[in-house]
Each structure stands twice: as structure tokens, then as C-alpha cells.
Amino acid sequence: MKITDFLLALKLQKGVGYVKMLQIASQLDVEEVDPVQLNALDLPLSFREICLRAYRDEKAEETINRIKKQCQVISFFDSEYPEQLRQIYQPPLILFARGNLDLLKKEIVTIVGSRMATDYSYQVINRLMPNLVKQDLVIASGLAKGVDSLAHEAALRNNGKTIAVVGNGLNHYYPLQNHNLQDEIVQKGLILSEYLPDTPPRPFRFPQRNRILSGLSRSVIVTEAKEKSGSLITANLALQENRDVYAVPGPITSTLSEGPNKLIEAGANPIIDFELKRERFDNLTTNILFSD
């Protein structure tokens, strides 16, 4: 059995979460998996029994075949897996995708911000996007309403490429208002998820999704965001993973500028002329960035 199929079969087993999968996967460095190898793993007997059950599970095999008809499946061990993402703490072991996987090999810039974005974000993103596309940068975001949608739409409108990382399975549209946008991204870009295709959206999955957004990228841009928000989670993760962080300064009277202004105070690169200045700042601090 190919390693990717085995990991997917393992993911389908009841009671197997990320930690168990990681413990098992960390001892597998082969293209093909067989029972002899699984029995020889230096793992508790209960873990080895889970591995053998997954390997022999005919129902799981049927499910895997059905999933592969719905989307592309790549694992940590596949050449298609993005190198940037391999470097992060707790990288996803399985990714489900629809669209152009070649985009994962390009330089990616993530744009995040408030779901309640104002016209300020709209103007900044639309004036910034042509310069990003001109540099052949792929734009990533989370397909939420607000800044995420603005970023995806602006990339497509400027004939650029975009990646949406979602906090649910690919068979769901969330939010529903982005149904057409999601379909367009599949045709012209890439949709990614670490969740099985039928997994519904749940609030706790979106912070988990944020580590993928920051991990894929060389740079993260924050437009409007409250000081305690998912966007600041993404920025904080980006700092921890030694990514470039950019922020759009805003009026101190606006609660949606609290997040970006705080990032700039911590050493993030301010965007002041619709260009990304590519200097690296090594004095970024993470201790003052926090989220609920």
C-alpha cells in the first residue's frame, strides 16, 4: 500500500487523532507500506494494532477510492507537498486539494484581515494586487467573508493565481455566499483543506487552518483586524515560523486598525506605498501578540 493511502486509511480510523498519526508517520520513511514494516515499528502494541487494522480495512479502501474521485490527496511524503509547510510545527500530514497543485511550488503571499472589512481594505487590496501579480506571487487566504474574499477576488480580477485554505471539507461551501467564488478558485487556482471532504465547518477548525495559511507563505499581510482576532493568530504563527509580516497602518480611532498598528509597533513591515519592501526584520517580537 502506498504511504499516502496508508495515512489516509489511518485518518479514517476511529480514535486516531493528529498526535497518534504523527507518532506513527514519524517512523515511516518508505514509499510502500506492508504489515512486516508495521509490526516492526517502535511503537506501543496498541498503535501497531491500529496500523494493521487500517492496512486491512476494506471499508477504508472503498472510502479512499471515493475520496480520490472527489479531490487530489497528497501527504507529507509526496513531492507535491509544499516545502515551506514541511518546516512548521505540526504540519498537516494529509492535504485534500482541488485545482492546480503547481501553485504550491511558487512563492506565496497570504493576505488576511477582518470579516467586517471596510472600504479601506478594499482600496488597499485593489491597489496592492497588481504589484503582487506582476511579481508572479500567488495570493493565499482563507475564503472567509471580508478581507479573505477581497483578496481572492482581486487576485482573479488581475489575472493572478490564488489559493484558498479552508477550515472544512472540500464538499462544503462556507460561507455559502462564496459558492461561486470557491468554484472559480477551483478552476483558476487551488482549494486546500486538511479535513476529510465531508467534514462540516466548525469554529475550532479555523484557528487550526491558520497555521497552514502562515506556513505556506513567505510573507503574510494583515489589512484591517482587531487586536484579538484570527488574523493576529495567523500573523503570530508567521512570526514564530520566521516569515515576513506586513501590516497596513490605519487610524488609531479605528478598532479594525488596532491589530495592524500593534504588529507595526512590534516590528512588522508597514505597507505605505502599495509595494512590498522585501527587507527582513529580525527584531520582530511575538510576546505582545495574543489572541483569545
Query: How far apart (Å, rounded) are the C-alpha atoms in residues 106 and 246?
Result: 19
Find out whether 162 and 151 touch, Cβ atoms under 8 Å.
yes
Q: Is the pLDDT of residue 125 over 70?
A: yes
Please, what is the Cα angle at 15 between 9 and 20, to 5 degrees? 75
- Please tell me the distance from the alpha carbon of residue 74 to that of residue 80, in angstroms, as a whole number: 7
How many angstroms from the chain centroid is the CA of residue 128?
22
Rounded CA-CA distance 236/249 in Å is 17
Peptide bond just before 270 cis, omega within 30 deg: no
pLDDT given for residue 278 in this prediction: 61
Reported as a single tens digit per residue, the pLDDT across 3-32 is 999 999 999 998 899 999 999 999 987 889
Q: What is the pTM of this model?
A: 0.91
Task: Indicate the SS3 state at residue 290.
Answer: coil
pLDDT of res. 289: 46
Query: What tens digit of pLDDT does each residue of 49-70 get?
Result: 999 999 999 999 999 999 999 9
Determine contact, residues 185/147, Cβ cutoff 8 Å. no
d(CA 156, CA 126): 11
Q: What DSSP element (H or E) covers 81?
A: none
Across the chain, the runs of DSSP E, i.e. the strands, are: 72-75, 94-99, 108-112, 138-141, 162-165, 190-193, 219-222, 244-247, 269-270
Tell me which amino acid residue 178 is: N
Place of cell 500530514: 93
Question: How confident is the model over 146-201, as pLDDT tens digits?
Answer: 999 999 999 999 999 999 999 999 999 999 999 999 999 999 999 999 999 999 99
Q: For the domain bounded by 101-270, which CATH number is listed?
A: 3.40.50.450
Mean pLDDT for the chain? Answer: 92
pLDDT value of residue 274? 86
Provide the pLDDT for residue 96: 98
> Residue ranges of the domains in the chain?
3-70, 101-270
Confidence of residue 279 (pLDDT cuts 50, 70, 90): low
pLDDT at 175: 95
Return left, alpha or beta for 15; rule: phi > 0 is left, psi -120 to 50 is alpha, else beta: left
Q: To 10 degrees, what angle do helices 45-56 and 3-11 make?
A: 110
Q: Which three cell numbers stand for residue 44?
A: 506501543
Check pLDDT > 50 for residue 283. Answer: no
Q: How many Å apart are CA 196 and CA 184, to the nearest integer? A: 21
Residue among 186, 161, 163, 162 nearest 173 (CA): 186
Summarize pLDDT for 95-113 with one digit per residue, the tens: 999 999 999 999 999 999 9
Check if the beta carbon of residue 139 is closer than 8 Å to that of residue 169: no
> What angle in degrees, to the nearest 10, is found between the helix axes of 18-25 and 45-56?
90
